[in-house]
């Protein structure tokens, strides 16, 4: 199986489907053939994690909503993918060219990353 791969695990009850698909599109547009696969996987209640794989043995947590706080902006996510999965690649160099710090995109539905999702409780 070819690598590197990325999986975006997301809660469908939190309605993070479109957000997940948008991140997928952003990563495909930037990294194109440097990624062997990007998948969308319906996850557990309140889950939003972006996972990377260099091989079948280890999972790399690129982003975890509960740990990292909210959602990354696309620029920051691309920087993390490049650093964690494509360290030797020159693709996506435009992502970090101005050296500004990344910002987070907060969720409209929650005040903190540890807050329980109201949609999941239904």
54-90 confidence digits (pLDDT tens): 999 899 999 999 999 999 999 999 999 999 999 865 5
Q: Percentage of the chain with pLDDT > 70?
A: 72
The pairing of beta strand 37-42 with beta strand 48-53: unpaired
Q: What is the pLDDT of residue 105?
A: 46
Q: What is the pLDDT of residue 66?
A: 95
Token pair for 94: 């435009």
Q: What is the pLDDT of residue 67?
A: 96
Give the total number of structural domains in the chain. Answer: 1
pLDDT band with cut points at 50, 70 and 90 for residue 103: very low
Is residue 121 included in any domain, yes or no?
Answer: no
In this structure, the number of other CB atoms found within 10 A of the CB of residue 23 comes to: 24
Is residue 42 included in any domain, yes or no?
Answer: yes
Token pair for 61: 């947590």
Is residue 120 included in any domain, yes or no?
Answer: no
Domain with 46 in it: what CATH number?
3.40.30.10
């Amino acid at each position: 199986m070819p690598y590197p791969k990325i999986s975006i695990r997301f809660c469908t009850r939190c309605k993070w489907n479109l957000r997940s698909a948008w991140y997928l599109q952003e990563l495909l547009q930037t990294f194109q053939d440097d990624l062997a696969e990007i998948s969308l996987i319906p996850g557990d209640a309140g889950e939003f994690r972006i996972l990377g794989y260099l091989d079948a043995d280890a999972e790399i947590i690129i982003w975890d909503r509960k740990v990292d706080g909210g959602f990354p902006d696309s620029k920051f996510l691309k920087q993390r993918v490049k650093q964690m999965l494509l360290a030797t690649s020159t693709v996506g160099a435009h992502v970090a060219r101005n050296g500004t710090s990344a910002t987070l995109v907060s969720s409209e539905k929650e005040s903190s990353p540890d807050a329980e999702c109201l949609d999941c409780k239904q």
